[in-house]
Amino acid sequence: MSKQMQARNTPGRNEPKPPFPKQHQEGPGLESKLDPRPRYKAEAYRPAGKLKDKVALVTGGDSGIGRAVALLYAREGAKVAISYLPEEQSDADETVKAIEGAGGTCVPIAGDLTDAAFCDQLVEQVVQQFGKLDILVANAGHQNRKKTLEEVTDEEFDRTFKTNIYSYFRLSRAALRHMQPGSAIIATSSETGLFGSRYLPDYSATKGAINAFTKTLAMNLLDKHIRVNAVAPGPVWTPLNASDAGETPDKVAKFGSDSPMGRPAQPEELAPSYVFLASNADSSYISGIVLQVMGGETTGG
């Protein structure tokens, strides 16, 4: 193992820390414009064929956490489809290239998940392409900070809920028309769904809803042998915060500094937990959990 990789195996030692360059993007943000570029390749990770012959759909797989998950799934042997917004085509192209470079297969499908019909079409397209669907990762998310509740327009509230929780419900419903025993559904929640977050009223509420929906669907699908879990990340260095309309360039520069490790996670530090929850060799007795990947932040209970 190279010296660089040995250093990367020591938790947090070598990961980028704030202050970052001051920056802001219009939403949806592009990973290619983020400085420094997020780490998503998980070079220290050793795949073991855990998802061999599986088919996975990762929403928001063009960038951030979704990109890292899509790549790791492919390295574990899954065929992958990613969804994203049309404006993010260049990021999606890079994800496809990374997956193909690792010897995997990735089908990119652009579309708006706030559109109910697209949620159904997306699942159908994946099944048409690969003949089945074993793993759904409902990861796409929309987030804009607001100082007061007055700033939360009905339109924005709808957009946040339709992107974050309606699509999780709609994609799950569509996926269940095809999923066989042994399949897995995984959602991306957030620490804001556990703690609340002062300036993210609509977003935090969707993440709380994701947690409750995850537990409920997990119970509902026990007899079908389909497991349902969520991952709750702390701050992660992705385009989401740099393109948050309520976030200033100064705040982006300090992103993650108030977390216990004094830094945000890199996407590659999130992806293995999604492998764990998808792999029946790893987590066959786990369903209905919200797995906290929060950099040393702890919760009660």
Whether 203 is a known active-site residue: answer: yes
Among 39, 42, 57, 62, binds ligand NAD (CB under 6 A): 62
**How many other CB atoms sit within 10 Å of the CB of residue 280?**
17
Contact between 244 and Mg ion by CB under 5 A: the answer reads no
Contact between 288 and ligand NAD by CB under 6 A: the answer reads no
How do 135-138 and 184-188 pair as beta strands? parallel
Contact between 167 and Mg ion by CB under 5 A: the answer reads no
Tell me how far apart the alpha carbons of residues 185 and 215 are, in angstroms, rounded to a whole number: 11
Q: How far apart are the first and last CA of the chain?
A: 39
DSSP structural state of residue 59 = E
Contact between 273 and ligand NAD by CB under 6 A: the answer reads no
Tell me how far apart the alpha carbons of residues 75 and 66 are, in angstroms, rounded to a whole number: 14
Phi/psi of residue 59, each to 5°? -80, 145
Contact between 88 and Mg ion by CB under 5 A: the answer reads yes
Q: Dihedral of the CA atoms 28, 213, 114, 57 (nearest 10)?
A: 70
What is the number of the residue whose Cβ is closest to ligand NAD? 64
How do 135-138 and 55-59 pair as beta strands? parallel
Strand partners, 56: 80, 135
Which range touches ligand NAD (CB under 6 A), out of 10-18, 126-134, 137-145, 221-229?
Answer: 137-145
**Closest approach of Cβ 138 to ligand NAD, in Å?**
8
Q: What angle, rounded to 10 degrees, do the helices at 167-176 and 201-220 form? A: 20
Contact between 274 and ligand NAD by CB under 6 A: the answer reads no
**Closest approach of Cβ 85 to ligand NAD, in Å?**
5
Out of ligand NAD, Mg ion, none, which partner does residue 126 contact, by CB within 5 to 8 A per kind? none
Contact between 236 and ligand NAD by CB under 6 A: the answer reads yes
Among 113, 184, 185, 200, binds ligand NAD (CB under 6 A): 113
Contact between 63 and Mg ion by CB under 5 A: the answer reads yes
Q: Which residues contact ligand NAD (rule: CB under 6 A)?
A: 28-29, 60, 62-66, 83-85, 88, 112-114, 139-143, 163, 188, 190, 233, 235-236, 238-241
Query: Active-site positions?
Result: 203
